[in-house]
Amino acid sequence: MSDNKEKKFSICQGFNNLSELKKKETTAGETTKRFGASWKIELFKYASGDITSNVRCECTQTGDWSINTVFDLNFNGKVVITGRPFEFNQKDTSLPLPFIKKADFANFRIQESFTVEYHVKIIDMNGFPEKQKSMKFDDRVAKEASDVILIVGDRKFYVCKTYLSFHSSYFKDLLLGNVERSKKFVKELKDIDPEAFQDFLQVLYAVSQIEHDTCLEILKLADLFDANVVVRRCEDFLMNQSKETLKIKFQLAVKYKLDELKKKCFAEMTEKTNYQNFIPENSADFDTDVWKELYSRAVSFMWK
């Protein structure tokens, strides 16, 4: 089956003690599962001391499969490659990249410890089974119990306005102000992906768990709809189950005002943390308090 919905994720891997890594051998990072595939960053060190990095994608699918991607590559926050297309499939599971000469390490901020980060955009996927829904919002039961029809993309969601309004101030303002009683209230929600909305509703109705592939989109909608119970569930997932990098968790904590997650991120920063990598392109993304705390954490290790 083909899935043409665009998906994005990041995978980050830190490598320590570069000088001690064995030459002519591959060092593999941790495996991360995203969108039905397993991803990991690998580092190969040549006899000369030069290095190359690649991303490996592996699937358990039988038969032909493919994942068309476009990716960016950063070394310690420095952009190395942008907009490179590549198709992963059952024959080509590894994305090859040019090697970096030892003499050029300084240009890429590579020292004994460094971080490799890939930002991946999936254009389409083929050969993967359709994701099963935990709850149907368009079957006979949903239609009979609903008093609101929400149109999202090409799909209709039959829901209860009282339940939505109780958990979301956005839907409270949108739905409870309507006084039509003779027929169901129909409202179109524009610029929202129907699959992401399905995942959001399933978490709101507590019929499915948040997953690595769905958390970011669910959090985005929870913030948009001011659905605090879903925001808290996303924060709990990011704190206790997510495999996202510390950098990404910190960015999400700041953007969506997830105070407990932000405290946990600060607590996990150490003297080995690459603080420069946390600096956003737009300084206004962090308020004064965040900048102060980040600076204090970085400076505190300089005096130890």
Going from the N-terminus, what domains does the chain have, and what CATH number goes with each?
Answer: 2-126 (2.60.210.10), 140-208 (3.30.710.10), 238-302 (no CATH)
- Average pLDDT of the chain is 87
pLDDT reported for residue 4: 61
Dump pLDDT digits (tens) for 114-132: 888 888 999 999 887 777 7
Judge whether residue 40 has pLDDT over 60: yes
Q: Is residue 235 over pLDDT 90?
A: yes
- Check residue 63 and give its pLDDT: 81
With vertex at residue 233, the alpha carbon angle to CA 229 and CA 235, rounded to the nearest 5 degrees, is 115
Residue 289: which pLDDT band, with cuts at 50, 70 and 90? Answer: very high
pLDDT at 5: 67
Q: Note the pLDDT of residue 178.
A: 58
Confidence class of residue 297 from pLDDT cuts 50, 70 and 90?
confident
Which distant-in-sequence residues (6+ apart) come within 8 Å of 109 by Cβ?
75, 76, 77, 78, 276
Other beta carbons within 10 angstroms of residue 181's beta carbon come to: 8
The C-alpha atoms of residue 58 and residue 31 are separated, in whole angstroms, by 10
**So what's the pLDDT on residue 188?**
93
What are the pLDDT digits (tens) for 210-232?
Answer: 988 889 889 999 999 999 999 99
Tokens 């595939």, residue? 37
**Which range scores top for mean pLDDT: 58-62, 224-228, 293-297?**
224-228
DSSP code for 179: -
Which is higher by pLDDT, 188 or 304?
Answer: 188
pLDDT at residue 294 greater than cutoff 70 = yes
Please compute the mean of the pLDDT values over residues 91-108 and round it to a whole number. 84
Residue 110, pLDDT score: 84
Looking at this protein, which amino acid is placed at residue 48? S
pLDDT for position 97: 74
